[in-house]
Structure 1
Amino acid sequence: MLIKAYAKINLSLDVVGKREDGYHILKMIMQTIDLYDLINIKKTCKGINISCNRQYVPTDERNLAYKAADLFMKTYDVNEGVDIYIKKYIPVAAGLAGGSADAAAVLKAMKSMYRPDVKDEEIMRLGLNIGSDVPYCAVGGTALCEGIGEEITRLNNFKNHILVVVKPPFGVSTKEVYKNLDINKIKRHPNTKLLISAIEENNLHTLARNMKNVLENVTLSKHIILKGIKQEMINMGAKGTLMSGSGPTVFAFFDDMLKAQICYDKMKKRYRETFITRTI
């Protein structure tokens, strides 16, 4: 079975509190984009075998796709095995939920292969044991995600909007970013109601001007290059730019394909992992 595992961006990311167990309480608007890994999954006699076109991607228990397959098999007493090949296009450690998307795709594929009677909500709950982005990745589209990622409210589809995505040549540890975030020092929070209203009206201008990610306070101060990338894209006609997740990937919305193409061409010369794509 061949399945696409789509990347996500954050149209907003707010941290509204912290639980006693140390997890941050989030309020964020997530959006699927047309950038994906290809997952080829086949039944085997036993065991879990992961392979990937990128040598730096772990293919053992550290891989979220492996964890997803293992969790599914243990939860539903699957005695057979799976062979999973990941053709990776989504950048790693980028804030685009590539690993979570792969895990969600594996859970959905295994549901289809082994337990089609299982409800989608059950798959989402299972996914939360793997990572906070996995439940959303199992749903996709445009959604408000709250709690630690498990409370998902579907929003109007904000599809077919052009964006340029730039991933600089370094990764960022999500754990470290949250560790260095001081909630009390956050001066400006996203206006989530305004952003949802803009999505309902399909108003790119209002949304792009009001996007906000509080984790930029940490990542942009450590990696000044990201501020330069954002400003460059604005100078080339972007309607708005934002860092996705904990970074370091930044994206920009355009209302004109020619401007987006010029931006893409210029960024691609310096940053290998640059993409021109759309919201879906």
Structure 2
Amino acid sequence: MVTEKAYAKLNLGLKLLNRRSDGFWNILSVMQTIDLYDTLIFKERTQEIEIKCTAPDVPSDSENLIVKAAQLMRKRLGVDRGVHVEVEKRIPVGGGLGGGSSDAAATLRALNRLWNGGLGRDELFEIASLIGSDVPFFLKSGTAIVSGRGEVLEYINLPIRAYYVLIYPNFPVSTRWAYHNQKTSLTGESKYVNFIDSWKERKEDGRLLYRNLENDFERLVEIHYPIIREIREDLLSEGAIAVSLSGTGSTVYGVFKTLQRAQLAAALLRKAGRTIFICQPVC
């Protein structure tokens, strides 16, 4: 038996740079793992790949990235072994927190151990890239500047301690829908892109990241789901130093300097139809 934690992530900014010839977008984002996680327990089976999840809306067939990851590991290792996976789901589905991708990465790590695969990080990275654009990021915890379609990672040290209040409005936003409907011209000047470029050249202080956050999906998502704007305004009114959508949503997070301030804001913002988490980065 093998147990893995699959950590959620936040996008500390997300810019769409240009559409690629393969249909994907080149992006720029700072992604950070946080201490909200799913717990996955893996038990050996003879041949079947079985999933039992605490969230009833999570598929257990080939649509689940856990199944895809297990199938790819079987093919790569040349084995015909099965696995039973129990998933204690804490990361909201469709919340822009990468729960499905993180579960897939946890599956690669776990099966490499359970099936004595002996694969190194580069080999796992190659398999992860076949599953989804952001799956490679979840192979390890930390903070990274992410580019390409999500597979180019530059791990960094973010020199600031922050506390996040995450508000999930209890409905998902489809990543596919968001990318399909993103028709805004993205060729203008971007303070976020300029900041990241300067930061990589050590011309900017990383502690200023939160002042420069931009997410190209915020306008689209707020138009279709006005509650997102309401949540953003609520977080700002309770003292968040920055507020942003994570990924394509639907989760909105506020950045706070102290745990006490984050706890107070979370208590004041609890309402029906909202799920709230207080999180910290995981390095």
C-alpha distance in structure 2 between counterparts of 1:27 and 1:210, whole Å: 13
Report the counterpart of residue 131 of structure 2 in structure 1: 130
Per-residue displacement from partner, 1:190-239 (whole Å, max 9, x unpaired)?
A: 52453573998562xx2222111111121122112111111111111101
Deviates further, 234-243 or 206-215: 206-215
SS at 1:234 equivalent? helix
Give yes or no for contact 2:221–2:249 (8 Å, CA) kept in 1: yes
Equivalent AA in structure 1 for residue 233 of structure 2: Q
C-alpha distance in structure 1 between counterparts of 2:182 and 2:27, whole Å: 13
1:260 correspondence with 2:268: no
Report the counterpart of residue 212 of structure 1 in structure 2: 214
Match for 1:240 among 239, 242, 265?
242
Give yes or no for contact 1:164–1:274 (8 Å, CA) kept in 2: yes
How much has 1:124 moved relative to structure 2? 1.4
Q: List gaps (5 residues or longer) in structure 2.
A: none
C-alpha distance in structure 2 between counterparts of 1:260 and 1:51, whole Å: 34
Give yes or no for contact 1:92–1:171 (8 Å, CA) kept in 2: yes
Match for 2:251 among 238, 249, 260?
249
How much has 1:140 moved relative to structure 2? 2.6
Report the counterpart of residue 37 of structure 1 in structure 2: 38
**Superposed counterparts of 1:1-280, under 5 Å:** 1-157=2-158, 160-185=161-186, 187=188, 189-192=190-193, 194-195=195-196, 197=199, 201=205, 203=207, 206-280=208-282
Equivalent AA in structure 2 for residue 163 of structure 1: Y
Give yes or no for contact 1:9–1:31 (8 Å, CA) kept in 2: yes
SS at 1:270 equivalent? coil
State the TM-score, normalized to the length of structure 2. 0.92
Equivalent AA in structure 2 for residue 154 of structure 1: Y
How much has 1:99 moved relative to structure 2? 0.3
How much has 1:257 moved relative to structure 2? 2.2
C-alpha distance in structure 2 between counterparts of 1:218 and 1:188, whole Å: 19
Give yes or no for contact 1:12–1:190 (8 Å, CA) kept in 2: no
Equivalent AA in structure 1 for residue 74 of structure 2: M
Give yes or no for contact 2:51–2:85 (8 Å, CA) kept in 1: yes
C-alpha distance in structure 2 between counterparts of 1:149 and 1:58, whole Å: 24
Per-residue displacement from partner, 1:95-153 (whole Å, max 9, x unpaired)?
A: 00000000000001111222442111111121121111100111331001111111111
Equivalent AA in structure 2 for residue 170 of structure 1: F
SS at 1:172 equivalent? coil
Deviates further, 153-162 or 102-111: 153-162
How much has 1:256 moved relative to structure 2? 2.4
